[in-house]
Structures are given as structure tokens and as C-alpha cells.
Copies of this chain bind each other. A is one copy, B any other.
Amino acid sequence: MDIIAPVITPFRNGKIDLDLYAEHIRNITAKGVDAVFVAGTTGLGPALSVEERKALLEAAASVARRVIFQIGSLVLDDAVALAKYAERFDAVEAVASVPPYYFPRLSERQIAKYFRDLCAATSRPVYLYNYPAAVGRDVDAKAAREIGCLKGVKDTNENIAHTLAYKRLMPHMKVYNGSDSLVLASFSVGLDGVVASSANYVPEALARLREAVARGDVERARSIQFAIDEILEAARPLGYSSAVYELVEIFQGYDAGEPRPPIYPLDPEEKAWLKAAVAQAKAKLAL
């Protein structure tokens, strides 16, 4: 059961700090992260240029043994270019893509064709990154099976039965859940792992949670999940995509850069508030 980190993309004055990016990956992989998910939602992928995403991949592949590269784009040619670029790196075990987002008026045929075009463009496994809350569209297990060429899925979904359905219909697929509040559930029901943004700030806790599940200590596993839930509850109203950067500093002790507007960084009051709000959870996790 893998712990996969959808790595944050650290900006300084609107530019990506690639050294910090690599350093951050080094830190979290040393603390239990098995693989990194590059240019996902937490990594602000849909807000990055093709060149920026290539640079991230290069940096990630230089420090992580296992990389999943998120290539989703509203321009098919860009997604294809990213898929092809990924072939240069042995560390890339799969490319993943969100379905075309924003445009609510695409047909199922169009969605399926998009993924088939990606499959045709690369020799690497193509994973579905299903995230209805961001994309406005659910590509569920039946739809994914229909597409035919998908080898894995990151399902960011509050319904673990929805995630399990991919495994039920396609037992050979790699199946990950992407919700931080379902890490305990994901490990407990035997998914292939989780892609959890919390792996950016509490990778040790996720590792311990996994160990607790593995040895049947549900009580212990649950107490870790509950501490993570407390963090999420505090951070979400502030804008979770931005709060993650601050949580890295709070829990890991180093400056993790900033997001890029319009994903605005927390302001000083919000930062102070967040630090106080997660103090108890931090104590519980005793990192």
C-alpha cells in the first residue's frame, strides 16, 4: 500500500523554486513517501505552463524513484507533448490525467476519446485522475472500463465504495484514493494506496497510520486519521490549496515557498490562526 505525495509546487515571486521542490521531495520520501504525483491539483498543475510542468518532472525524476506525472490539459497537443516528454525518465511509472475540466458540455464520447488519444501517444501506463469536485464530471468505474486502456486511477472522492468499484470491475488496475480524510479507510479496505496532500506535511504520520493498519491496530490508526481530520477542518476554510504550504512549514519546519495567484498565499493573520488551530493535532501526532 503506497503513500503517494501530490507534491506542492513552491513559487518565489511567480517563479518555481526547483531546488526547493527537489529538497522537499527528498525530505518527504525519506520520511515514508513511496512515490510522488507531479503537477496534480496540490501541485497546481492546471495552473502551470507546459514548460513549467516539464521542469517539475525533471526535478522530481532526479530525486524520486517513483513518479506519476499529471499531464491533463485543455489542449490535447500539450497533454500529448507532456506524455511523450515523460518517456525520457525511467522514474515515471505512469502518466495521469484529469478529464477535460471546466467545459461542462462535453459528451462521454469526447471524454473517452481524450483518454484513448493519451494512451495512443505513450508507451507508459495511463492513469485516470478522477476528481469530480474540481472537474465537474465523474468518470466512474464503468466509464473507465469502457475507455479500455487505463491502467490505474487516482479517485479523489469521498465515497470509498466509488473507489473500490474500479478494483471490482478491473482487478488489475492500480487504484488509489485521493482524499486525505479517507486514508484510514483506503488502507483498511486494501486499496493500492493513497495520494494524500497531507503527505507533504505529515508523511511520518501517514507511515505510522499504514503500519497501524498493517498490524491490525485500528484504534491507533484511527487516532492518527482523526488528528489529520482536525488539521483539514482548520485549514479548509482558509483555502486548502494555499494552506498546504503553511502546513509544511508548521509540521516540517522549513519554508516551502508560496502558491501563485490567484491561488493567493495565506495572509499573516491566517497563518497565525492556522498555526494555533493545528497545535493540538500537532501535539497528538507528536512528530
Contacts and interface: CB of A to CB of B under 8 A. Distances in A.
A123 interface: no
A268 interface: no
Contacts of A117: 261-262
Interface in A157-183: 158-162, 164-165, 167-168, 179, 181-182
B190 A222 contact: yes
A106 B240 CA distance: 7
Contacts of A102: 41, 46-47, 101-102, 134-135
Interface size bucket, A side?
35 or more
Interface stretch (A19-27, A57-65, A69-77): A69-77
A262 B185 contact: no
A189 B190 contact: no
Please report whether the interface of chain A is mostly helix, strand, loop or mixed according to DSSP.
helix
A162 B232 CA distance: 13
Contacts of A136: 133-134, 136
Contacts of A238: 107
Interface of A: 14, 41, 44, 46-47, 74-77, 79, 100-107, 109-111, 113-114, 117, 133-136, 158-162, 164-165, 167-168, 179, 181-182, 184-185, 188-190, 216, 218-219, 222, 225-226, 229, 236-242, 260-264, 267
Top 7 nearest A-B pairs (CB, nearest first) are A188-B188, A47-B74, A107-B239, A105-B240, A161-B181, A76-B261, A158-B159
